[in-house]
């Protein structure tokens, strides 16, 4: 049976595996990944870090199997998105990539929105500090030499594909916002905002071949020369594919370094604060990426028990120390994208008393993240005119049964969790299966991979209690935002 090399480039690590196309895993590896960030608005990374991680992962996989990587005939990669890699005409990065948490383009956005033609453009409502067009404009205005040398803008997984094949391409899901902004000639949003050159690469569907692995690759990668490399897509789309969520009336949540939440609809619909993107033939995604998810829970546990014991052990200790008293947490440690799109909103506890125990803070952290999910769910369902029948859940945040039940109770929907932790890799496998004509569409390609699911049903009594707490959460978002903006202004003034 043919083998595939699968890679999922995440915010905290590069996950890699070799699978048989039938779905049998043969070897796995993980390489840590991190960003260069400051306290306020900067997040960057040298793309060479990803390439070195891929080489290290390949070497580890090669050591685990008889014959190593020699039997690999195809490669599929997914990766974090809302991150721009700027390449010159020789394919070399002109600067570090601007990563998904970077919000330095906020001032640029505010400036271009002062122009009536930009402000009145139909797509301008989506223009914010995390939009790829905003990042390009920021680069043009602040690093002119780098901008002048920029020939092409791609995503992180595209860079790895390029290093393997020498061919530059991206996919329509990952590049949707930049493609949309550049369409329309003289009336395009990008042209009106002042973008003065085309930087889009060739666009291919996720299951289409970008090229084949070049000869003379370093280390163990030399064993897969000639293997087909599929274009792939971003980690969210790929993970949703891996858990079978690309079906109308299903919701999805990818709980990783941050959370991405939404529902699938068979018709296009728009909702305030949500992203609407075509994710396949007659399938539209309503939802979008946040900035806060399992990373916030990790921060909370590490802050309360800062020692070297395993994370799950420390989490269990904290959850055993609860009073059950209500406590509200707005989980915006890094600002927020969907559905608020506010880089300056900050986290906040409300109702904290001396009687509360450390476990109450942890529980409130879990609940606050789920309340943000519910805000997205409600807006999406109203816009689509339909109710999500279930929520497919994946990512590191899906590994805790206690949190999964909280999520089901707050969302008032069944939460379905794959027993396979690395569902991004399963989505990559589905891409490879489709690209090799082993299925007719991505849904069928995913269904052809055997995996089991755990189901969490909402509990009526707990859901009623959460309805009351959620109402308070919604009522206080505006207040939290107002206070946060004043505090953010003080922080910026302190840096001057």
Asked if residue 303 and residue 154 are part of one domain, the reply reads: no
Question: Which whole number is the average pLDDT over 440-445?
Answer: 85
- Residue 280: its pLDDT value, please? 82
The larger pLDDT score, comparing residue 411 to residue 10, is at 411
Find residue 138's DSSP bridge partners: none
Asked if residue 201 and residue 339 are part of one domain, the reply reads: no
- Residue 385: its pLDDT value, please? 96
- Residue 496: its pLDDT value, please? 57
The larger pLDDT score, comparing residue 123 to residue 396, is at 123
Asked if residue 134 and residue 259 are part of one domain, the reply reads: no
The tokens describing 250, both together, are: 């299903």
- Residue 495: its pLDDT value, please? 64
* pLDDT > 90 fraction of the chain, expressed in percent and rounded: 80
pLDDT above 70 (res 351): yes
The tokens describing 446, both together, are: 């995913």
- Residue 196: its pLDDT value, please? 87
pLDDT above 90 (res 455): yes
Q: How far is CA 214 from the centre of its chain?
A: 29
Show which of 198, 233, 268 is a domain's final residue: 233
Residue carrying the six token digits 């404009």: 137
- Beta strands 169-170 and 202-203 are parallel
Neighbours of 421 (CB within 10 A): 15
Find residue 265's DSSP bridge partners: 284
Question: Which whole number is the average pLDDT over 67-93?
Answer: 95
Q: Which secondary-structure segment (H or E) carries 407? A: helix 401-411
Asked if residue 255 and residue 126 are part of one domain, the reply reads: no
Cα–Cα distance for residue pair 252/250, rounded to 1 Å: 7
Give the contacts of 434 (CB within 8 A, at least 6 positions apart).
206, 207, 441, 442, 445
Find residue 25's DSSP bridge partners: 19
Cα–Cα distance for residue pair 385/360, rounded to 1 Å: 36
The tokens describing 368, both together, are: 């606050």
Asked if residue 11 and residue 139 are part of one domain, the reply reads: yes
Show which of 233, 266, 293 is a domain's final residue: 233
Residue carrying the six token digits 């206070």: 483
**Count of domains in the chain?**
2
Find residue 262's DSSP bridge partners: 252, 287
* 266-297 per-residue burial string, b: 16 or more CB within 10 A, e: under 16: eeebebebbbbbebbeebbbbbbbbbbbbbbb
Neighbours of 496 (CB within 10 A): 4
**Confidence class for position 281, pLDDT limits 50, 70, 90:** confident
Q: Which of 44, 124, 42, 131 is nearest to 82 (CA)?
A: 131
Residue 160 lies in a domain: yes
Asked whether the beta carbons of 232 and 77 are under 8 A apart, the reply is: yes
**Which 8-state DSSP code applies to residue 69?**
G
**Cis omega (within 30 of 0) on the bond before 496?**
no
pLDDT above 60 (res 193): yes
Q: What is the crossing angle of helices 423-435 and 235-242, to 10°?
A: 80
Residue 340 lies in a domain: yes
Residue 144 lies in a domain: yes
Asked if residue 495 and residue 395 are part of one domain, the reply reads: yes
pLDDT above 90 (res 282): no
**Confidence class for position 342, pLDDT limits 50, 70, 90:** very high
Cα end-to-end distance, the chain, whole Å: 62
Asked if residue 270 and residue 191 are part of one domain, the reply reads: no
Domain housing 364 = 244-496
Q: Which of 365, 368, 417 is nearest to 391 (CA)?
A: 417
**Confidence class for position 258, pLDDT limits 50, 70, 90:** confident
**Confidence class for position 360, pLDDT limits 50, 70, 90:** very high
For 307-376, give the DSSP string. Answer: SSS-HHHHHHHHHTS------EEE--BTBB-TTT-BTT---EEES--TT--HHHHHHHHHHHHHHHHHHH
Residue 238 lies in a domain: no
Question: Which whole number is the average pLDDT over 215-225?
Answer: 96
At CA 219, angle to CA 211 and CA 3, rounded to 5? 55
Residue 239 lies in a domain: no
Asked if residue 49 and residue 123 are part of one domain, the reply reads: yes
Residue 400 lies in a domain: yes
Asked if residue 131 and residue 72 are part of one domain, the reply reads: yes
**Which 8-state DSSP code applies to residue 334?**
T
Cα–Cα distance for residue pair 161/210, rounded to 1 Å: 7
Cα–Cα distance for residue pair 102/195, rounded to 1 Å: 20
Asked if residue 229 and residue 248 are part of one domain, the reply reads: no
Summarize pLDDT for 159-188 with one digit per residue, the tens. Answer: 999 999 999 999 999 999 999 999 877 789
- Residue 421: its pLDDT value, please? 76
Residue 53 lies in a domain: yes
Asked whether the beta carbons of 103 and 291 are under 8 A apart, the reply is: no
- Residue 311: its pLDDT value, please? 95
- Residue 126: its pLDDT value, please? 86
Question: Which whole number is the average pLDDT over 364-379?
Answer: 98
pLDDT above 70 (res 1): no
Backbone angles phi, psi at 403, to 5 degrees: -70, -35
Average pLDDT, the chain: 93
Asked if residue 254 and residue 229 are part of one domain, the reply reads: no
Asked if residue 350 and residue 217 are part of one domain, the reply reads: no
Q: Which of 103, 101, 97, 95 is nearest to 45 (CA)?
A: 97
Show which of 212, 233, 254 is a domain's final residue: 233
CATH number at residue 294: 3.30.420.40
């Amino acid at each position: 049976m043919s083998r595939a090399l699968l890679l999922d480039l995440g915010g905290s690590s590069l996950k890699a595996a070799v699978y048989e196309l039938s779905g049998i895993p043969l070897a796995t590896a993980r390489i840590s990944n991190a960003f260069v960030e400051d306290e306020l608005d900067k997040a960057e990374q040298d793309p060479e870090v990803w390439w070195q991680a891929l080489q290290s992962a390949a070497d580890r996989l090669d050591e685990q199997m008889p014959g190593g990587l020699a039997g690999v005939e195809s490669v599929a990669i997914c990766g974090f998105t809302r991150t721009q890699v700027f390449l010159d005409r020789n394919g070399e990065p002109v600067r570090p990539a601007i990563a998904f948490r970077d919000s330095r383009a906020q001032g640029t956005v505010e400036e271009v929105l002062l122009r009536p033609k930009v402000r009145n453009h139909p797509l301008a409502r989506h223009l914010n500090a995390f939009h790829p067009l905003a990042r390009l404009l920021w680069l043009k205005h602040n690093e002119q030499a780098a901008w002048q040398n920029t020939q092409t803008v791609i995503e992180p997984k595209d860079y790895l594909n390029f290093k393997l094949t020498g061919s530059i391409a991206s996919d329509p899901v990952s590049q949707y916002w930049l493609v949309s902004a550049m369409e329309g000639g003289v009336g395009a949003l990008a042209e009106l905002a002042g973008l003065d050159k085309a930087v889009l690469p060739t666009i291919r569907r996720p299951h289409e071949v970008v090229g084949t692995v070049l000869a003379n690759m370093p280390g163990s990668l030399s064993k897969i020369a000639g293997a087909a490399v599929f274009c792939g897509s971003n980690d969210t789309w790929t993970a949703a594919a891996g858990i079978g969520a690309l079906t109308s009336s299903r919701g999805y949540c990818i709980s990783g370094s941050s959370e991405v939440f939404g529902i699938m609809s068979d018709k296009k619909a728009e909702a305030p604060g949500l992203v609407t993107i075509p994710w396949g033939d007659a399938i539209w995604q309503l939802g979008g990426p946040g900035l806060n998810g399992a990373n916030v829970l990790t921060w909370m546990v590490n802050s309360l028990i800062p020692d070297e014991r395993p994370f799950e052990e420390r989490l269990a200790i904290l959850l055993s120390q609860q009073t059950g008293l209500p406590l509200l947490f707005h989980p915006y440690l890094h600002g927020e994208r969907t559905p608020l799109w506010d880089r300056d909103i900050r986290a906040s506890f409300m109702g904290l008393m001396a009687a509360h125990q450390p476990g109450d803070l942890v529980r409130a952290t879990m609940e606050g993240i789920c309340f943000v999910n519910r805000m997205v769910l409600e807006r999406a369902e109203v816009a689509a005119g339909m109710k999500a029948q279930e929520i497919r859940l994946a990512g590191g945040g899906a590994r805790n049964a206690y949190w999964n039940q909280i999520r089901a109770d707050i969302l008032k929907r069944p939460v379905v969790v794959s027993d396979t932790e690395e569902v991004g890799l399963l989505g990559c496998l589905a891409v490879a299966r489709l690209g090799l004509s082993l299925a007719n569409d991505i849904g069928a390609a995913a269904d052809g991979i055997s995996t089991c699911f755990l189901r969490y049903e909402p509990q009526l009594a707990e859901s009623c209690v959460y309805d009351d707490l959620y109402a308070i959460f919604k009522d206080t978002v505006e207040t939290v935002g107002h206070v946060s903006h004043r505090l953010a202004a003080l922080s910026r003034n302190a840096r001057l």
